Structure 1
Amino acid sequence: MTNETVEQMIALLKTPELCDLRRLADEHPLPWAEFVKLKEPAGITQGQAWDILNTLRRQTAIELPFRDGEGRCGWYYPTRSIEADLDEIDKRCHAGSLLDLAIKSRNTTYFLIEAHVADAITIVQEDGLAIGYEKAREVLLGEREPENSGERLLLNGHQAIWDLDDYAERPCTPELIFEMYEKISKGVDDQTTPSRVQQSLNWKRKRLDSLAALSLVAKLVEENREGYDEHPLLLGMAVRHIVMSTLPLPSWNGTMYSLLMKLLFKKSHLPVLAFVPLVKTCREWESGILRPPSVMASLADSEVLIGNEVDYTIYVGVMAHLARQRLDEVENELKRVIKRDEAFVQALRDDVEINHRQRAVLQVALSNPEAVFKIESHQMMHKVAYATARADLLKLAELGFLRCVRSRRAFEFRVTPGLRQLLMDHAKDEES
């Protein structure tokens, strides 16, 4: 290469037009449709300017941790917009964040179910099942027992979420994944409906046997952000792609990949991200419900073939921004639930029918729908006569807030399903 050629290259890199292109590409993902409207440097074609820009971007790109079925590499360029979205997710989703503490301090079971019934429905739809919103809500809130395999799978999947903290303390291995699979498939018939196989225009499916696929998934979950440059959100998308493109488990791969994504977020110390309805968001974008201009690009335009590699910058930009938007919605929903809780708790305080001891019982019941209350325990806790403790609990049963059942020789009082709605209705009746 002659000195003259080198000088021409340096001069090209310094031109205002190329500097403007680089600045825009640094700021946000730059689709071809936007690029063609921009002015290229004099003396080169539009295609040459595109190749030069992509060559510069590729130098500091982040590679995906695996290759496709044809051995090709995938990568994305970390623009400032992508980094801003991912940094905001980190700040608000990490263990001990204000949002994490707010979720833990409230009735997490109710909040998770009530706010994310639609996401739970989408998860079972990944394996070809269809469940209506109200039926799903009734099952998840414990208002009735599952009536079929689809409803049982829905409930098993949500119950498995409460074991994720325990799973997060153990190394993620194929054996652990099969243990989780056994739990979610207990009492569920074999799958007869087709799963939604993950496909891509440019990224060719890799043919992996079940053990190889699960080993790769386990490695992503276990090493997460300590072993990879990618953000846990993007590793979660990788878990989704591997599971739904290879279907390594005998059945219910859709429910399993959702749990594995949540486990990855737990292990990455981003527990709040497990509350974000990512599955529903992905499907809305992929099906075209979310499309430009509400998102940067359609799924078809989010993967760009650059030479013999796949540029995922647009894809990552869309997913990071959608995840941040959904996080906003989760936070707003939590604030609404807290405000509503405070309103009806205040109403209960003003209710002359319910004393302070009974209010304490109801607060425990709201925080733990599986709680069981006994007369002797209530008596000892509040230092009252047996007859007073008995009258307290029987009154709550009379109001419908607790269920009185006989256990051996004693009475037990269990939380009535749908307690929160019952309390809200009671508070409204008292106001009217």
Structure 2
Amino acid sequence: MKIPLSPPSLDEMMMAVTPEMLPRFALLNLGPLAHGQYLHWDELRHCSSPEGLNHKTWWLALRMARSSSAQELPFQDKHGKPFSYSLPEPLLKSLHEIDRGAGLIPSGSDNAVLRAEQGRYLMGSLIEEAITSSQLEGASTERRVAETMLREGRKPRTHSERMIFNNFEAMRTVRTLCNDKLEPQHVIELQRVLTQDTLEYPEDCGCLRTRDDIEVVAPNDERLVLHRPPLARELPERLQRLCDFANTPVSEGSFIHPVVRAILLHFMIGYDHPFADGNGRTARTLFYWYMAKQGYWLTEYLSISRILRKAPVQYARAYLLTETDAGDTTYFLLYQTKVILDGLSALYQYLEQKQREQTRLSAQLRNLHTRDKQLNHRQTALLSHALKRPDEYFTIESHQRSHQVAYATARADLLALAAQGLLVETLHGGRKRVFYPAPDLREHLGGEAPHQP
């Protein structure tokens, strides 16, 4: 990747203005967008400029329009200049779509699948985010091994498993902070949970960085330095300012949309780089915390890291666009709202798929004659999984964690399925109860297995 070209200075732009161009500024009535997009100079210079303007004067007109609507933020870059943001039409549209899709629907009330199986889907989303967030930072454990570790609650055995386990614990921990004010010690503790037993220098775990030789390099080229964060001595004050920003009531002072606040928390952790390691994971976890705190309950079911992992260069570029254009965070806001909307779209597709799968399985289960009451949604989900992966096994503990239910409930579910011949119970190592899908499970259900997603 390349670092975006910084815009021309004000002096350069003014020198490019001729007397004949001045009337064109008023006639064109240029807003903050170019061709319907909030373009950076690095992109704008390759576009066709309006008649009568060159690229520098066009950029001057756009910069004037953006400055007139920009809102200054309580954060500063490492040179002491304030960050700012604007609300161009594409960003307003994205915020509205996020409000509709993630914040205004009462929890689970309009989605039968989520309402019935919130515990399982939340567990699944926590596992997905834990794995992909760790993979962004270099973890390489095979996905099914990691899933089994988290569902069974076993201790991690490798460095990569530890990274995934830590991410999972951090995502669970941050849910308990939803009603609390954010304090610097909370952020430091979060980094400790995320990096415990994974750092080359263990003393960097659970404390602010003390060195100034930190360099953020390109995801595909370690020789290209993208960012050098602020000095370590500034970090306590910067972290306190970030916490104050997070704790400010939405209705107090100049209104800042809650989603904008959540994204800016993410941005500032990445920019300040308050820790020697674990900054990206801490930033993403704080984003989830603030969104949940503000009532955007559906974001708990999204895996932001899964989308970021597909295009790490775009994520880094969103930071660079801001840094190279006078601290205008609008670029990062536009990128991150798109990431959220992509996550919501993937979630809705997943839920539709699960609804179809549940309908197919329900039809199969109608062919199953039992002497007991009908199977509950947890048992149905387990059988669906067993049909797709007949080589896997289940334990009371894994079933309990998957559905967030009591041990006795999980035990009753599995014993009932074993009593009906749908699962086969055995002892692992002579002590632990393990349940395998019955060899003739498909025949018991009288149909084909659900399609592999």
TM-score (norm 1): 0.71
Contact 2:319 2:332 in 1 (8 A): no
- What is residue 189 of structure 1 aligned with on the other side? 197
Cα 1:361–1:91 change in 2 (3 A) is closer
| 1:14 equivalenced with 2:26 (yes/no) | yes
Long gaps (5+) in structure 2: 1-18, 205-213, 219-224, 382-398, 448-453
- Which amino acid letter does the alignment assign opposite residue 212 of structure 1? E
- Which amino acid letter does the alignment assign opposite residue 115 of structure 2? S
Shift in Å, 1:154: 2.0
Count of matched residue positions in the alignment of Structure 1 and Structure 2 = 388
Identity percentage of aligned residues = 16
Tell me, in whole angstroms, the C-alpha distance in 1 between the residues paired with 2:150 and 2:265.
Answer: 25
| 1:340 equivalenced with 2:357 (yes/no) | yes
From 423, 444, 447, the equivalent of 1:400 is 423
From 132, 136, 146, the equivalent of 1:136 is 146
Q: Bigger CA drift: 325-334 or 248-257?
A: 248-257
Q: How does 1:166-205 map to 2 (within 5 A)?
A: 166-181=176-191, 188-192=196-200, 198=216, 205=229
Deviations 1:369-413 (A, max 9, x none): 5433379x98xxxxxxxxxx99957616x64388899xxxxxxx9
From 311, 316, 322, the equivalent of 1:285 is 311
Residue aligned with 1:337, SS: helix
Tell me, in whole angstroms, the C-alpha distance in 2 between the residues paired with 1:149 and 1:74.
Answer: 37
| 1:351 equivalenced with 2:351 (yes/no) | no
From 373, 376, 383, the equivalent of 2:408 is 373
- Which amino acid letter does the alignment assign opposite residue 321 of structure 2? S
From 80, 86, 89, the equivalent of 1:71 is 80
Cα 1:348–1:105 change in 2 (3 A) is same
| 1:256 equivalenced with 2:264 (yes/no) | no
Shift in Å, 1:299: 4.5
Cα 1:275–1:129 change in 2 (3 A) is same
TM-score (norm 2): 0.68
- What is residue 302 of structure 1 aligned with on the other side? 321
Tell me, in whole angstroms, the C-alpha distance in 2 between the residues paired with 1:253 and 1:53.
Answer: 34
Shift in Å, 1:22: 2.7
- Which amino acid letter does the alignment assign opposite residue 276 of structure 1? L
Residue aligned with 1:107, SS: helix
Shift in Å, 1:323: 2.2
| 1:211 equivalenced with 2:236 (yes/no) | yes
- What is residue 383 of structure 1 aligned with on the other side? none
- Which amino acid letter does the alignment assign opposite residue 362 of structure 1? Q
- Which amino acid letter does the alignment assign opposite residue 147 of structure 1? R
Shift in Å, 1:90: 1.3
Contact 1:348 1:354 in 2 (8 A): no
Tell me, in whole angstroms, the C-alpha distance in 2 between the residues paired with 1:203 and 1:152.
Answer: 28
Cα 1:64–1:403 change in 2 (3 A) is farther
Tell me, in whole angstroms, the C-alpha distance in 1 between the residues paired with 2:141 and 2:319.
Answer: 29
Cα 1:351–1:311 change in 2 (3 A) is same
- What is residue 61 of structure 1 aligned with on the other side? 70
Contact 1:93 1:100 in 2 (8 A): no
Contact 2:265 2:283 in 1 (8 A): yes
- What is residue 328 of structure 1 aligned with on the other side? 345
Deviations 1:300-321 (A, max 9, x none): 8734745xx2334333323222
Contact 1:124 1:254 in 2 (8 A): no
- What is residue 133 of structure 2 aligned with on the other side? 123
Shift in Å, 1:192: 1.6
Deviations 1:28-67 (A, max 9, x none): 313443465334353x543123212211221102334311
Residue aligned with 2:152, SS: coil
Long gaps (5+) in structure 1: 1-6, 291-296, 379-388, 406-412
- Which amino acid letter does the alignment assign opposite residue 14 of structure 1? A
Shift in Å, 1:89: 0.5
Contact 1:118 1:133 in 2 (8 A): no
- Which amino acid letter does the alignment assign opposite residue 164 of structure 2? L
Contact 2:422 2:444 in 1 (8 A): no
Cα 1:156–1:149 change in 2 (3 A) is same
| 1:90 equivalenced with 2:115 (yes/no) | no
Q: Bigger CA drift: 199-208 or 347-356?
A: 199-208
Residue aligned with 1:22, SS: coil
Cα 1:78–1:361 change in 2 (3 A) is closer
Deviations 1:250-278 (A, max 9, x none): 76444433322211111122122233322
Shift in Å, 1:354: 6.2
Shift in Å, 1:85: 0.9
